[in-house]
A and B are shown apart, each in its own frame.
With several copies, the nearest count.
Chain A
Amino acid sequence: MKKIEALIRKTQFEDVKNRLHEAGVTFFSYWDVTGLGNENKGRVYRGVSYSTSAIERRMLSIVVNDDFVEPAVQAIIEAGGTGNIGDGKIFVLPVEEAYRIRTGEKGGDTLN
Protein backbone atom coordinates (compact mmCIF):
# COMPACT_ATOMS: atom_id res chain seq x y z
CA MET A 1 0.00 0.00 0.00
CA LYS A 2 1.15 3.48 -0.78
CA LYS A 3 0.03 6.94 0.11
CA ILE A 4 -0.04 9.42 -2.73
CA GLU A 5 0.15 13.06 -1.70
CA ALA A 6 -0.65 15.35 -4.57
CA LEU A 7 -0.43 19.12 -4.38
CA ILE A 8 -2.43 20.53 -7.28
CA ARG A 9 -3.95 23.78 -8.44
CA LYS A 10 -7.44 24.24 -7.03
CA THR A 11 -8.59 25.09 -10.51
CA GLN A 12 -7.57 21.66 -11.80
CA PHE A 13 -9.33 19.78 -9.06
CA GLU A 14 -12.47 18.80 -10.96
CA ASP A 15 -10.42 17.47 -13.88
CA VAL A 16 -8.11 15.53 -11.62
CA LYS A 17 -11.00 14.05 -9.71
CA ASN A 18 -12.67 12.87 -12.88
CA ARG A 19 -9.50 11.39 -14.30
CA LEU A 20 -8.83 9.57 -11.04
CA HIS A 21 -12.33 8.14 -11.16
CA GLU A 22 -11.62 6.86 -14.65
CA ALA A 23 -8.44 5.30 -13.32
CA GLY A 24 -10.50 3.50 -10.70
CA VAL A 25 -9.48 5.66 -7.78
CA THR A 26 -12.66 6.92 -6.19
CA PHE A 27 -11.72 7.16 -2.55
CA PHE A 28 -9.56 9.90 -1.19
CA SER A 29 -9.49 12.92 1.05
CA TYR A 30 -8.51 16.47 0.26
CA TRP A 31 -8.09 19.83 1.88
CA ASP A 32 -6.81 23.24 0.96
CA VAL A 33 -3.29 24.30 1.74
CA THR A 34 -0.99 27.18 0.95
CA GLY A 35 2.02 26.39 -1.17
CA LEU A 36 5.38 28.06 -1.45
CA GLY A 37 7.08 27.17 -4.70
CA ASN A 38 8.38 28.59 -7.93
CA GLU A 39 5.19 30.36 -8.89
CA ASN A 40 5.12 34.03 -8.11
CA LYS A 41 2.57 36.76 -8.67
CA GLY A 42 3.02 40.52 -8.56
CA ARG A 43 0.24 42.32 -6.79
CA VAL A 44 -0.78 45.71 -5.43
CA TYR A 45 -2.97 46.22 -2.36
CA ARG A 46 -3.89 49.73 -1.28
CA GLY A 47 -0.98 51.04 -3.26
CA VAL A 48 1.58 48.71 -1.74
CA SER A 49 3.07 46.43 -4.33
CA TYR A 50 4.28 43.06 -3.25
CA SER A 51 4.98 39.70 -4.76
CA THR A 52 3.68 36.54 -3.32
CA SER A 53 4.98 33.04 -3.71
CA ALA A 54 2.23 31.80 -1.41
CA ILE A 55 -0.40 30.23 -3.61
CA GLU A 56 -3.53 28.35 -2.75
CA ARG A 57 -3.37 24.67 -3.52
CA ARG A 58 -5.38 21.59 -2.85
CA MET A 59 -3.74 18.63 -1.15
CA LEU A 60 -5.05 15.20 -2.11
CA SER A 61 -4.30 12.27 0.15
CA ILE A 62 -4.89 8.96 -1.59
CA VAL A 63 -4.02 5.61 -0.14
CA VAL A 64 -3.99 2.85 -2.75
CA ASN A 65 -2.78 -0.68 -3.29
CA ASP A 66 0.57 -0.86 -5.07
CA ASP A 67 -0.80 -1.60 -8.52
CA PHE A 68 -2.88 1.55 -8.48
CA VAL A 69 0.05 3.88 -7.82
CA GLU A 70 1.18 4.19 -11.40
CA PRO A 71 -2.27 4.81 -12.94
CA ALA A 72 -3.18 7.27 -10.20
CA VAL A 73 0.06 9.24 -10.62
CA GLN A 74 -0.41 9.33 -14.39
CA ALA A 75 -3.99 10.48 -14.00
CA ILE A 76 -2.94 13.35 -11.79
CA ILE A 77 -0.09 14.39 -14.07
CA GLU A 78 -2.35 14.39 -17.10
CA ALA A 79 -5.26 16.22 -15.56
CA GLY A 80 -3.35 18.43 -13.16
CA GLY A 81 -0.88 19.91 -15.59
CA THR A 82 -1.36 23.23 -17.32
CA GLY A 83 2.26 23.56 -18.42
CA ASN A 84 2.78 26.65 -16.31
CA ILE A 85 5.07 26.93 -13.37
CA GLY A 86 3.22 26.04 -10.22
CA ASP A 87 1.36 22.93 -11.35
CA GLY A 88 2.45 21.15 -8.22
CA LYS A 89 3.99 17.92 -7.00
CA ILE A 90 3.15 14.31 -6.26
CA PHE A 91 4.82 12.36 -3.50
CA VAL A 92 4.57 8.63 -2.83
CA LEU A 93 4.99 7.36 0.72
CA PRO A 94 4.93 3.83 2.11
CA VAL A 95 1.93 2.73 4.15
CA GLU A 96 2.17 -0.20 6.51
CA GLU A 97 -1.40 -0.93 7.35
CA ALA A 98 -4.94 0.23 6.68
CA TYR A 99 -8.14 -0.28 8.64
CA ARG A 100 -11.79 0.27 7.88
CA ILE A 101 -13.33 1.85 10.96
CA ARG A 102 -16.84 0.59 10.24
CA THR A 103 -15.90 -3.08 10.30
CA GLY A 104 -12.52 -3.10 11.99
CA GLU A 105 -11.08 -5.20 9.13
CA LYS A 106 -7.62 -4.42 7.89
CA GLY A 107 -5.43 -4.82 4.79
CA GLY A 108 -5.54 -3.79 1.17
CA ASP A 109 -9.20 -4.74 0.80
CA THR A 110 -10.25 -1.83 2.91
CA LEU A 111 -9.10 0.61 0.27
CA ASN A 112 -12.31 0.70 -1.68
Chain B
Amino acid sequence: MDTALFTANNVWMMICTALVFFMHMGFSLLEAGLTRQKNTVNILFKNFFVITAGLLLYALAGFNLMYPGFEEGATGFFKFAGWGIAPPEGGMTAAYASGGYTWWTDFLFQGMFAATAATIISGAVAERIKLEAFFVIAILYVGIVYPIVGSWQWGGGFLYNWGFYDFAGSTLVHSVGGWAALITIYFLGARIGKYSADGTSNPIFGHNMPLAAGGVLILWLGWFGFNGGSVLSADPATTSLVLVTTSLAASAGGIVASIFSHILYKNYDLTMFMNGVLGGLVAITAGADQMSTGEAMIIGAIGGIIVVLAIALLEKLKLDDPVGAIAVHLFAGMWGTLAVGIFGNMASTKQFMLQLAGVGIVGAFCVLSALLLVLVVNATIGLRVTKEQEIGGLDDAEHGMSAYADFSVSKK
Protein backbone atom coordinates (compact mmCIF):
# COMPACT_ATOMS: atom_id res chain seq x y z
CA MET B 1 0.00 0.00 0.00
CA ASP B 2 1.26 3.45 -0.78
CA THR B 3 2.34 5.80 1.99
CA ALA B 4 -0.26 8.40 1.11
CA LEU B 5 -3.20 6.08 1.66
CA PHE B 6 -1.63 4.72 4.82
CA THR B 7 -1.16 8.28 6.06
CA ALA B 8 -4.71 9.32 5.22
CA ASN B 9 -6.08 6.24 6.97
CA ASN B 10 -3.98 6.87 10.02
CA VAL B 11 -4.99 10.52 10.14
CA TRP B 12 -8.62 9.47 10.21
CA MET B 13 -7.98 6.94 12.95
CA MET B 14 -6.11 9.48 15.07
CA ILE B 15 -8.97 11.94 14.72
CA CYS B 16 -11.42 9.24 15.71
CA THR B 17 -9.24 8.53 18.72
CA ALA B 18 -9.40 12.19 19.70
CA LEU B 19 -13.17 12.17 19.28
CA VAL B 20 -13.57 9.08 21.47
CA PHE B 21 -11.40 10.79 24.05
CA PHE B 22 -13.73 13.77 23.85
CA MET B 23 -16.66 11.51 24.73
CA HIS B 24 -15.28 11.51 28.25
CA MET B 25 -16.05 15.18 28.43
CA GLY B 26 -19.53 14.38 27.16
CA PHE B 27 -20.05 11.78 29.85
CA SER B 28 -18.67 14.09 32.53
CA LEU B 29 -21.02 16.92 31.65
CA LEU B 30 -24.03 14.66 31.17
CA GLU B 31 -23.55 12.92 34.50
CA ALA B 32 -22.80 16.11 36.37
CA GLY B 33 -25.77 17.88 34.83
CA LEU B 34 -28.30 15.15 35.62
CA THR B 35 -27.31 14.79 39.27
CA ARG B 36 -27.45 17.04 42.26
CA GLN B 37 -25.18 19.94 42.86
CA LYS B 38 -23.79 18.53 46.08
CA ASN B 39 -22.18 15.63 44.21
CA THR B 40 -20.75 17.50 41.27
CA VAL B 41 -17.09 17.55 42.27
CA ASN B 42 -17.34 13.86 43.07
CA ILE B 43 -18.68 13.01 39.64
CA LEU B 44 -16.06 15.05 37.87
CA PHE B 45 -13.36 13.47 39.99
CA LYS B 46 -14.58 9.99 39.08
CA ASN B 47 -14.58 10.86 35.41
CA PHE B 48 -11.05 12.20 35.59
CA PHE B 49 -10.06 9.03 37.38
CA VAL B 50 -11.71 6.82 34.79
CA ILE B 51 -10.00 8.32 31.80
CA THR B 52 -6.54 8.64 33.33
CA ALA B 53 -6.44 5.37 35.24
CA GLY B 54 -8.19 3.63 32.37
CA LEU B 55 -5.48 4.60 29.91
CA LEU B 56 -2.65 3.67 32.25
CA LEU B 57 -4.23 0.28 32.96
CA TYR B 58 -4.78 -0.34 29.32
CA ALA B 59 -1.10 0.33 28.71
CA LEU B 60 -0.10 -1.85 31.62
CA ALA B 61 -2.17 -4.90 30.78
CA GLY B 62 -5.51 -4.28 29.10
CA PHE B 63 -4.34 -4.01 25.54
CA ASN B 64 -2.37 -7.23 25.74
CA LEU B 65 -5.32 -8.97 27.33
CA MET B 66 -7.71 -7.80 24.65
CA TYR B 67 -5.60 -8.26 21.55
CA PRO B 68 -3.52 -11.22 22.50
CA GLY B 69 -3.76 -12.64 19.00
CA PHE B 70 -5.72 -15.84 19.37
CA GLU B 71 -4.53 -18.37 16.87
CA GLU B 72 -6.74 -19.03 13.91
CA GLY B 73 -9.71 -21.01 15.26
CA ALA B 74 -8.52 -21.00 18.88
CA THR B 75 -11.19 -21.71 21.46
CA GLY B 76 -9.67 -20.21 24.60
CA PHE B 77 -11.48 -17.70 26.78
CA PHE B 78 -8.42 -15.94 27.93
CA LYS B 79 -4.96 -15.10 26.73
CA PHE B 80 -2.42 -12.56 27.83
CA ALA B 81 0.38 -11.21 25.73
CA GLY B 82 2.41 -9.80 28.61
CA TRP B 83 2.76 -6.65 30.72
CA GLY B 84 3.33 -3.21 29.31
CA ILE B 85 3.27 -2.23 25.69
CA ALA B 86 5.93 -2.16 23.06
CA PRO B 87 5.31 -2.01 19.36
CA PRO B 88 5.82 -5.22 17.42
CA GLU B 89 8.20 -5.45 14.51
CA GLY B 90 6.75 -3.41 11.67
CA GLY B 91 4.02 -1.98 13.89
CA MET B 92 4.53 1.46 12.41
CA THR B 93 4.32 0.38 8.81
CA ALA B 94 1.44 -0.16 6.45
CA ALA B 95 2.03 -3.86 6.87
CA TYR B 96 0.70 -3.85 10.44
CA ALA B 97 -3.02 -3.46 9.85
CA SER B 98 -3.51 -3.52 6.11
CA GLY B 99 -2.44 0.09 6.09
CA GLY B 100 -5.33 1.23 8.26
CA TYR B 101 -3.28 2.63 11.12
CA THR B 102 -0.11 2.21 13.11
CA TRP B 103 0.23 0.08 16.20
CA TRP B 104 0.37 3.18 18.39
CA THR B 105 -2.85 4.46 16.93
CA ASP B 106 -4.36 1.05 17.52
CA PHE B 107 -3.40 1.09 21.17
CA LEU B 108 -4.67 4.60 21.81
CA PHE B 109 -7.95 4.17 19.96
CA GLN B 110 -8.69 1.00 21.89
CA GLY B 111 -7.52 2.57 25.14
CA MET B 112 -10.01 5.41 24.78
CA PHE B 113 -12.75 2.81 24.26
CA ALA B 114 -11.80 0.87 27.36
CA ALA B 115 -12.34 3.76 29.71
CA THR B 116 -15.87 4.19 28.35
CA ALA B 117 -17.13 1.04 30.03
CA ALA B 118 -16.17 2.40 33.45
CA THR B 119 -17.82 5.71 32.76
CA ILE B 120 -21.11 3.96 32.20
CA ILE B 121 -20.89 2.51 35.70
CA SER B 122 -19.92 5.90 37.08
CA GLY B 123 -23.18 7.48 35.95
CA ALA B 124 -25.45 4.80 37.38
CA VAL B 125 -23.84 4.63 40.80
CA ALA B 126 -23.58 8.38 41.19
CA GLU B 127 -24.46 10.24 44.37
CA ARG B 128 -23.95 7.42 46.88
CA ILE B 129 -21.02 5.16 46.08
CA LYS B 130 -17.86 5.36 48.14
CA LEU B 131 -15.04 6.83 46.12
CA GLU B 132 -12.58 4.05 46.95
CA ALA B 133 -15.15 1.38 46.18
CA PHE B 134 -15.64 2.93 42.78
CA PHE B 135 -11.89 3.07 42.19
CA VAL B 136 -11.53 -0.64 42.82
CA ILE B 137 -14.54 -1.66 40.75
CA ALA B 138 -13.52 0.56 37.86
CA ILE B 139 -9.91 -0.61 37.88
CA LEU B 140 -10.70 -4.30 37.92
CA TYR B 141 -13.59 -4.10 35.53
CA VAL B 142 -11.76 -2.00 32.96
CA GLY B 143 -8.44 -3.68 33.55
CA ILE B 144 -9.67 -7.27 33.35
CA VAL B 145 -13.32 -7.94 32.52
CA TYR B 146 -13.65 -5.55 29.61
CA PRO B 147 -10.51 -6.71 27.77
CA ILE B 148 -11.33 -10.38 28.25
CA VAL B 149 -14.79 -9.97 26.75
CA GLY B 150 -13.32 -7.85 24.01
CA SER B 151 -10.78 -10.51 23.16
CA TRP B 152 -13.54 -13.00 22.37
CA GLN B 153 -14.67 -10.88 19.45
CA TRP B 154 -12.24 -8.14 18.51
CA GLY B 155 -9.23 -10.16 19.62
CA GLY B 156 -10.29 -12.89 17.23
CA GLY B 157 -11.64 -15.21 19.91
CA PHE B 158 -14.50 -17.68 19.86
CA LEU B 159 -17.38 -15.23 19.38
CA TYR B 160 -15.64 -13.90 16.35
CA ASN B 161 -15.06 -17.37 15.01
CA TRP B 162 -18.71 -18.27 15.47
CA GLY B 163 -19.75 -15.28 13.39
CA PHE B 164 -21.14 -12.99 16.08
CA TYR B 165 -21.16 -9.40 14.83
CA ASP B 166 -20.71 -6.26 16.86
CA PHE B 167 -19.36 -3.49 14.70
CA ALA B 168 -18.35 -0.91 17.26
CA GLY B 169 -19.50 -2.34 20.55
CA SER B 170 -23.23 -2.16 21.35
CA THR B 171 -22.52 -5.28 23.35
CA LEU B 172 -18.76 -5.30 23.84
CA VAL B 173 -18.62 -1.81 25.22
CA HIS B 174 -22.07 -0.53 26.11
CA SER B 175 -23.69 -3.67 27.46
CA VAL B 176 -20.51 -4.64 29.24
CA GLY B 177 -20.62 -1.35 31.10
CA GLY B 178 -24.38 -1.57 31.50
CA TRP B 179 -24.36 -4.97 33.17
CA ALA B 180 -21.85 -3.88 35.78
CA ALA B 181 -23.90 -0.76 36.38
CA LEU B 182 -27.00 -2.86 36.91
CA ILE B 183 -25.39 -5.26 39.34
CA THR B 184 -23.73 -2.48 41.27
CA ILE B 185 -26.84 -0.39 41.78
CA TYR B 186 -28.78 -3.48 42.81
CA PHE B 187 -26.45 -3.96 45.76
CA LEU B 188 -25.87 -0.29 46.31
CA GLY B 189 -29.55 0.55 46.72
CA ALA B 190 -31.41 3.69 45.75
CA ARG B 191 -30.47 7.17 46.81
CA ILE B 192 -32.06 8.35 50.04
CA GLY B 193 -35.36 9.99 49.23
CA LYS B 194 -35.75 8.35 45.84
CA TYR B 195 -38.43 5.96 47.05
CA SER B 196 -40.74 6.79 49.93
CA ALA B 197 -41.63 4.33 52.64
CA ASP B 198 -45.02 3.84 51.00
CA GLY B 199 -43.33 2.72 47.81
CA THR B 200 -43.91 5.79 45.69
CA SER B 201 -41.13 7.14 43.49
CA ASN B 202 -39.91 10.66 43.90
CA PRO B 203 -38.10 12.64 41.26
CA ILE B 204 -34.59 13.81 42.08
CA PHE B 205 -33.71 16.64 39.77
CA GLY B 206 -30.48 17.22 37.97
CA HIS B 207 -28.85 20.52 38.76
CA ASN B 208 -27.71 21.77 35.39
CA MET B 209 -29.52 21.06 32.11
CA PRO B 210 -27.21 23.07 29.83
CA LEU B 211 -24.31 20.94 31.06
CA ALA B 212 -26.27 17.77 30.41
CA ALA B 213 -27.43 18.90 26.97
CA GLY B 214 -23.92 19.95 26.01
CA GLY B 215 -22.71 16.56 27.18
CA VAL B 216 -25.11 14.75 24.87
CA LEU B 217 -24.09 16.82 21.88
CA ILE B 218 -20.44 16.13 22.62
CA LEU B 219 -21.24 12.44 22.88
CA TRP B 220 -22.92 12.50 19.49
CA LEU B 221 -19.85 14.20 18.07
CA GLY B 222 -17.66 11.64 19.77
CA TRP B 223 -19.71 8.86 18.20
CA PHE B 224 -18.46 9.99 14.81
CA GLY B 225 -15.13 8.71 16.04
CA PHE B 226 -16.49 5.76 17.97
CA ASN B 227 -18.32 4.30 15.00
CA GLY B 228 -16.36 6.00 12.25
CA GLY B 229 -13.08 4.75 13.67
CA SER B 230 -14.40 1.23 14.04
CA VAL B 231 -14.11 0.92 10.28
CA LEU B 232 -10.41 0.65 11.12
CA SER B 233 -9.42 2.64 8.05
CA ALA B 234 -10.65 5.73 6.26
CA ASP B 235 -12.28 3.73 3.50
CA PRO B 236 -14.50 6.46 1.99
CA ALA B 237 -17.56 4.33 1.26
CA THR B 238 -17.79 2.63 4.64
CA THR B 239 -16.79 5.49 6.89
CA SER B 240 -19.18 7.92 5.28
CA LEU B 241 -22.01 5.37 5.39
CA VAL B 242 -21.31 4.79 9.07
CA LEU B 243 -21.50 8.49 9.86
CA VAL B 244 -24.81 8.72 8.05
CA THR B 245 -26.41 5.73 9.78
CA THR B 246 -25.07 6.93 13.12
CA SER B 247 -26.51 10.41 12.74
CA LEU B 248 -29.86 9.24 11.42
CA ALA B 249 -30.25 6.71 14.23
CA ALA B 250 -29.44 9.40 16.79
CA SER B 251 -31.96 11.75 15.22
CA ALA B 252 -34.68 9.12 15.06
CA GLY B 253 -33.97 7.97 18.60
CA GLY B 254 -34.26 11.48 19.96
CA ILE B 255 -37.36 12.53 18.06
CA VAL B 256 -39.21 9.28 18.72
CA ALA B 257 -38.30 9.18 22.41
CA SER B 258 -39.50 12.71 22.88
CA ILE B 259 -42.76 12.08 21.07
CA PHE B 260 -43.28 8.77 22.84
CA SER B 261 -42.62 10.24 26.26
CA HIS B 262 -44.90 13.15 25.40
CA ILE B 263 -47.66 10.67 24.63
CA LEU B 264 -47.07 8.78 27.85
CA TYR B 265 -46.47 11.68 30.19
CA LYS B 266 -47.86 14.74 28.45
CA ASN B 267 -44.78 16.87 28.74
CA TYR B 268 -41.80 17.67 26.57
CA ASP B 269 -39.12 16.20 28.77
CA LEU B 270 -35.70 17.33 27.58
CA THR B 271 -33.95 14.55 29.46
CA MET B 272 -35.99 11.95 27.55
CA PHE B 273 -35.02 13.61 24.28
CA MET B 274 -31.39 13.43 25.30
CA ASN B 275 -31.59 9.83 26.47
CA GLY B 276 -33.40 8.98 23.24
CA VAL B 277 -30.56 10.39 21.17
CA LEU B 278 -28.11 8.31 23.15
CA GLY B 279 -30.34 5.24 22.83
CA GLY B 280 -30.35 5.67 19.07
CA LEU B 281 -26.58 6.00 19.04
CA VAL B 282 -26.00 2.92 21.18
CA ALA B 283 -28.48 0.89 19.14
CA ILE B 284 -26.90 1.61 15.77
CA THR B 285 -23.41 0.91 17.07
CA ALA B 286 -23.53 -2.86 16.52
CA GLY B 287 -24.49 -2.64 12.88
CA ALA B 288 -23.64 0.85 11.72
CA ASP B 289 -21.88 -0.44 8.63
CA GLN B 290 -24.59 -2.93 7.69
CA MET B 291 -27.69 -0.79 7.51
CA SER B 292 -29.44 1.32 4.94
CA THR B 293 -30.60 4.77 5.99
CA GLY B 294 -34.15 3.56 6.47
CA GLU B 295 -33.03 0.70 8.64
CA ALA B 296 -30.80 2.99 10.66
CA MET B 297 -33.76 5.23 11.38
CA ILE B 298 -35.90 2.28 12.44
CA ILE B 299 -33.20 0.88 14.70
CA GLY B 300 -32.64 4.29 16.23
CA ALA B 301 -36.35 4.92 16.69
CA ILE B 302 -36.89 1.61 18.43
CA GLY B 303 -33.80 2.38 20.52
CA GLY B 304 -35.48 5.61 21.60
CA ILE B 305 -38.67 3.81 22.59
CA ILE B 306 -36.74 1.15 24.46
CA VAL B 307 -34.93 3.78 26.47
CA VAL B 308 -38.16 5.43 27.56
CA LEU B 309 -39.69 2.09 28.52
CA ALA B 310 -36.56 0.85 30.26
CA ILE B 311 -36.39 3.98 32.37
CA ALA B 312 -39.96 3.31 33.48
CA LEU B 313 -39.20 -0.36 34.11
CA LEU B 314 -36.15 0.33 36.27
CA GLU B 315 -38.17 2.92 38.16
CA LYS B 316 -40.80 0.25 38.86
CA LEU B 317 -38.14 -2.17 40.01
CA LYS B 318 -36.76 0.50 42.30
CA LEU B 319 -33.40 0.32 40.61
CA ASP B 320 -32.15 3.86 40.92
CA ASP B 321 -30.07 5.00 37.97
CA PRO B 322 -29.72 8.79 38.20
CA VAL B 323 -28.67 9.38 34.61
CA GLY B 324 -30.44 6.59 32.73
CA ALA B 325 -27.18 4.82 31.94
CA ILE B 326 -28.61 1.33 32.12
CA ALA B 327 -31.60 2.11 29.93
CA VAL B 328 -29.31 3.66 27.36
CA HIS B 329 -26.27 1.42 27.38
CA LEU B 330 -27.61 -1.96 28.41
CA PHE B 331 -31.10 -2.06 26.96
CA ALA B 332 -30.47 -0.14 23.76
CA GLY B 333 -27.16 -1.99 23.48
CA MET B 334 -28.84 -5.38 23.55
CA TRP B 335 -31.45 -4.20 21.09
CA GLY B 336 -28.82 -2.92 18.70
CA THR B 337 -26.90 -6.17 18.82
CA LEU B 338 -30.00 -8.23 18.07
CA ALA B 339 -31.01 -5.81 15.34
CA VAL B 340 -28.03 -6.95 13.30
CA GLY B 341 -29.82 -10.27 12.90
CA ILE B 342 -33.09 -8.57 11.92
CA PHE B 343 -32.11 -5.70 9.64
CA GLY B 344 -29.42 -4.97 7.12
CA ASN B 345 -27.00 -6.97 5.07
CA MET B 346 -26.48 -9.73 7.60
CA ALA B 347 -30.10 -10.30 8.62
CA SER B 348 -31.00 -13.96 8.95
CA THR B 349 -32.42 -16.28 11.54
CA LYS B 350 -29.05 -17.87 12.02
CA GLN B 351 -27.39 -14.50 12.55
CA PHE B 352 -30.12 -13.52 14.97
CA MET B 353 -29.48 -16.64 17.04
CA LEU B 354 -25.76 -15.89 16.98
CA GLN B 355 -26.42 -12.36 18.14
CA LEU B 356 -28.67 -13.67 20.87
CA ALA B 357 -25.99 -16.12 21.95
CA GLY B 358 -23.40 -13.36 22.03
CA VAL B 359 -25.61 -11.10 24.08
CA GLY B 360 -26.34 -13.97 26.46
CA ILE B 361 -22.80 -15.18 26.92
CA VAL B 362 -21.37 -11.72 27.38
CA GLY B 363 -24.22 -10.88 29.74
CA ALA B 364 -23.67 -13.97 31.84
CA PHE B 365 -19.95 -13.38 32.11
CA CYS B 366 -20.38 -9.72 32.97
CA VAL B 367 -23.05 -10.41 35.55
CA LEU B 368 -20.92 -13.01 37.24
CA SER B 369 -17.78 -10.93 37.21
CA ALA B 370 -19.58 -7.86 38.43
CA LEU B 371 -21.29 -9.89 41.14
CA LEU B 372 -17.99 -11.20 42.39
CA LEU B 373 -16.40 -7.80 42.27
CA VAL B 374 -19.24 -5.97 43.96
CA LEU B 375 -19.70 -8.53 46.70
CA VAL B 376 -16.02 -8.52 47.53
CA VAL B 377 -15.87 -4.75 47.58
CA ASN B 378 -19.01 -4.61 49.66
CA ALA B 379 -17.60 -7.05 52.17
CA THR B 380 -14.27 -5.25 52.44
CA ILE B 381 -14.24 -1.53 51.75
CA GLY B 382 -18.01 -1.22 51.70
CA LEU B 383 -19.96 0.11 48.75
CA ARG B 384 -21.87 2.97 50.16
CA VAL B 385 -21.17 6.20 52.00
CA THR B 386 -22.91 6.85 55.30
CA LYS B 387 -26.36 8.38 55.43
CA GLU B 388 -24.88 11.59 56.78
CA GLN B 389 -22.34 11.83 54.00
CA GLU B 390 -24.95 11.15 51.37
CA ILE B 391 -27.31 13.80 52.67
CA GLY B 392 -24.53 16.28 53.15
CA GLY B 393 -23.24 15.49 49.69
CA LEU B 394 -20.19 13.64 48.47
CA ASP B 395 -18.41 16.85 47.54
CA ASP B 396 -18.26 17.82 51.14
CA ALA B 397 -17.74 14.32 52.53
CA GLU B 398 -15.10 13.04 50.15
CA HIS B 399 -13.49 16.17 48.78
CA GLY B 400 -14.15 18.94 51.29
CA MET B 401 -15.04 21.11 48.32
CA SER B 402 -18.04 22.67 46.74
CA ALA B 403 -18.54 22.83 42.99
CA TYR B 404 -19.87 26.36 43.02
CA ALA B 405 -18.32 27.70 46.22
CA ASP B 406 -18.29 31.29 45.13
CA PHE B 407 -21.62 31.38 43.35
CA SER B 408 -24.17 33.95 44.43
CA VAL B 409 -27.36 35.22 42.88
CA SER B 410 -28.44 38.58 44.17
CA LYS B 411 -29.39 40.72 41.25
CA LYS B 412 -27.39 43.13 39.09
Q: Do chains A and B touch in the complex (CB under 8 A)?
A: yes
Residues of A participating in the B interface, judged by any CB pair closer than 8 Å: 10-11, 14, 31-34, 41, 43-50, 52, 54-58
Q: Does B88 reach chain A (CB closer than 8 Å)?
A: no
Q: How far is the CB of A74 from chain B (nearest CB, A)?
A: 23
- Interface check B77, CB cutoff 8 A: no
The residues of A that contact B202 with a CB separation of less than 8 Å are: 48, 50
Q: Is B261 an interface residue (CB 8 A)?
A: yes
Q: Would you call A45 and B203 a contact (CB within 8 A)?
A: yes
CB-contact partner of A44 in B265, B388, B412, under 8 A = B265
A11-B388, A46-B271, A50-B203 known; A34 and B264 CB under 8 Å? Answer: no
Known contacts A45-B401, A46-B311, A50-B202; A34/B410 CB under 8 A: yes
Q: Which residue from A41, A47, A55, A57 sits with its C-beta under 8 Å from B315?
A: A47
B400 at the interface (CB under 8 A from A): yes
The interface residues of chain B lying within 8 Å CB-to-CB of A50 are 201-203
From A11, A47, A52, A57, B265 is in contact (CB under 8 Å) with A47
A32-B408, A45-B205, A45-B271 known, 7 other contacts, Cβ within 8 Å: A34-B412, A44-B400, A46-B269, A46-B271, A46-B315, A47-B312, A50-B202
| B391: interface (CB < 8 Å) | yes
Tell me the count of chain B residues lying within 8 A, CB to CB, of chain A: 28
Cα separation A50 to B388 with both chains bound (whole Å):
22
The 20 sampled A-B contact pairs (Cβ below 8 Å) are: A10-B410, A11-B388, A31-B410, A34-B410, A41-B400, A44-B266, A44-B400, A46-B269, A46-B272, A47-B261, A47-B264, A47-B308, A48-B202, A48-B203, A50-B201, A55-B412, A56-B408, A56-B410, A56-B411, A57-B410
Chain B residues lying within 8 Å of A33, measured Cβ to Cβ, are 410
Chain B residue contacts of A44, Cβ below 8 A: 265-267, 269, 400
